[in-house]
Amino acid sequence: MDEVSKTKLKQILKKSLVELTHNDKAFIKARRDYLKPSQKADYKFLTQTLKRTVKQKHGKTQKTK
């Protein structure tokens, strides 16, 4: 990771969870491989893939990742 991104990530990680903007969350998620194990645990809600239910044309539902 380049130095500018490292600096930005450090600044974002100093914020509390409620202070994070949508862009901050996206930045963390895109760079989740650079997080320490303890940070991964703190930001687990950002790094997990959510399952959603999607309606199809015929009224049936299908779960997606």
pLDDT per position as a tens digit, 26-57: 999 999 999 999 998 888 887 665 455 555 55
Domain borders along the chain are 3-64
Residue 59 has pLDDT above 90, yes or no: no
CB atoms closer than 10 angstroms to residue 39: 15
- HSE on the CB side for 23, CA within 13 Å? 2
This prediction has a pTM of: 0.67
Q: What is the pLDDT of residues 17-26, one digit of tens each?
A: 899 999 999 9
Beta-bridge mates of residue 53: 63
